[in-house]
Amino acid sequence: MTVHQALAIHFDSVAANTDEDREFAWPFPGKWRIDKVLVAPSTTAGADGTDYTTVTLETNDGAGGSYTTVGSLSTETVALTIGTSRERTMVATAAREVDQGDCLRVGKTDSGTGAVFDGGVTVLASRID
Computed over every residue of the chain, the mean pLDDT equals: 91
pLDDT at 64 over 80: no
Position 61: which residue type?
A: D
Residue 4 has a pLDDT of 92
pLDDT digits (tens, 9 = 90+) for 10-51: 888 899 999 999 999 999 999 999 999 999 999 999 999 999
pLDDT at 75 over 80: yes
Share of the chain above pLDDT 90, in %: 78
Q: Compute, in degrees rounded to 10, the torsion defined by CA atoms 94, 97, 102, 108.
A: 80
pLDDT at 62 over 80: no
Q: Whose CA is closest to 63, among 27, 21, 95, 86?
A: 95
What are the chain's domains?
A: 4-127 (2.60.120)
Mean pLDDT (whole number) for 63-69: 84
pLDDT at 90 over 90: no
